[in-house]
Amino acid sequence: MSASFVEFHDLRKSFGAVEVLHGIELAVQQHAFVVLVGPSGCGKSTLLRMIAGLESITSGFISIGGRVVNRIPAKDRGIAMVFQSYALYPHMTVRENLAFSLEMAKIKKDVMKARIERAAGILHLEPLLERFPAQLSGGQRQRVAMGRALVREPELFLFDEPLSNLDAKLRVEMRVEIKALHQRLESTTIYVTHDQVEAMTMADLVVVMNDGRIEQSGPPLDLYDNPATMFVAGFLGSPAMNLIKGTVATDGSAPVLDVGDGLQLPLPAGIREKPGAEIVYGLRPEHVSIGPPGSGLPATITLVEAAGWETHLYADMGQHVARIVSAERLNVAHGDHVSLVPDVSCAHLFDATTGARLSID
């Protein structure tokens, strides 16, 4: 087990009187690929800029490689950052763009040349070295921006939504390239995105942020399978988890959830909440299936998306909209009346007020 490389302790940030980060605690292992993910405005860029030294620390501390960096200027932190806007110098060629920060750091000419060649090789930039940024495609500019970070041979790579300006196909290609690059170089990386698919596919450790706090952190599938809060449950996964609010009741001796319109969802036998408690029932779309008529909850199909390798269905179930994903090509159409069968063993239960996960005996 390698030592933790970056640590945050009770890290806070205020702009004027407004606190936007509320006591961040996190340890990042050396060589890890960590993705900070959360909705726009939750504080991801602010946190990244504080690591880089571009934003002051209001209280708490950040350490990198065992050294507290609160008072260390950006240029001495051993960090390279790639931004959403690639910020290339338009009047410089690709080669000059790559060389610029090394010249500023007074790196020797022969070392500089070797580093540029190495970065250009890794990122397939050799044929582009004499071009200007205006002569490059979006994906090529993005690779130059990464090259500029790479030549500095940083101990820590920071990325702030580097793929947001690319079209969908290129985004997927660059996602694979960045991940492959990390597997080769093993530089500790902290990557910010609002895209949960990027987080799930790229990260060793996903950190879900919401409103200036960490909701949960862990390996991607741990968070997917065991979301600690309703926010994490709803944020990760597409189509999103079904989250249905209701009141605990009993049907004979079996616990059920009243969800209105006379509909009752079966609850796990081990539920601890007493009848009358308000809870939220969470179920991934892949854990709902269509059963024989009368076998489950009556619903009406409103939308069918045939994605090819799977089918996404939306159905009205009383006042609720149910999302269903099937690996099969289902023979259903808009307007069909179906019977939905939830896999109760896969249900996630949450406190309706706090959003915290409820444990089941």
User: Which residues of the chain form contacts with ligand ADP (CB under 6 A)?
Assistant: 15, 20, 38, 40-46
CB proximity list for 29: less than 8 A, separation 6 or greater? 1, 2, 3, 4, 5, 188, 205
Q: Which is nearer to Mg ion, 45 or 142 (CB)?
A: 45
46 binds, among Mg ion, ligand ADP, none (CB under 5 to 8 A by kind): ligand ADP
Site for Mg ion, rule CB under 5 A: 45
89 binds, among Mg ion, ligand ADP, none (CB under 5 to 8 A by kind): none
Complete edge-to-edge strand list for the sheet that includes strand 67-68: 18-29, 4-15, 59-64, 67-68
Question: What b/e readout covers 190-222, taking b as 16+ CB neighbours within 10 angstroms?
Answer: bbbbbbbebbbebbebbbbbbebbbbbbbebee
The CB-of-44 to ligand ADP minimum distance in angstroms stands at: 4
Q: Which is nearer to Mg ion, 39 or 127 (CB)?
A: 39
The CB-of-155 to Mg ion minimum distance in angstroms stands at: 23
Return d(Cα 239, Cα 224) in angstroms, integer.
13
Q: Count CB atoms within 10 A of the CB of residue 357.
A: 19
The CB-of-97 to Mg ion minimum distance in angstroms stands at: 23
For residue 288, the cross-strand partners are 342
Q: Which is nearer to ligand ADP, 42 or 128 (CB)?
A: 42
Return d(Cα 189, Cα 33) in angstroms, integer.
5
Return d(Cα 196, Cα 201) in angstroms, integer.
9
253 binds, among Mg ion, ligand ADP, none (CB under 5 to 8 A by kind): none
147 binds, among ligand ADP, Mg ion, none (CB under 5 to 8 A by kind): none
The CB-of-11 to ligand ADP minimum distance in angstroms stands at: 13
15 binds, among ligand ADP, Mg ion, none (CB under 5 to 8 A by kind): ligand ADP
CA-wise closest residue to 77 among 48, 99, 106, 97: 48
Q: Which is nearer to ligand ADP, 16 or 335 (CB)?
A: 16
Q: Which is nearer to ligand ADP, 139 or 234 (CB)?
A: 234
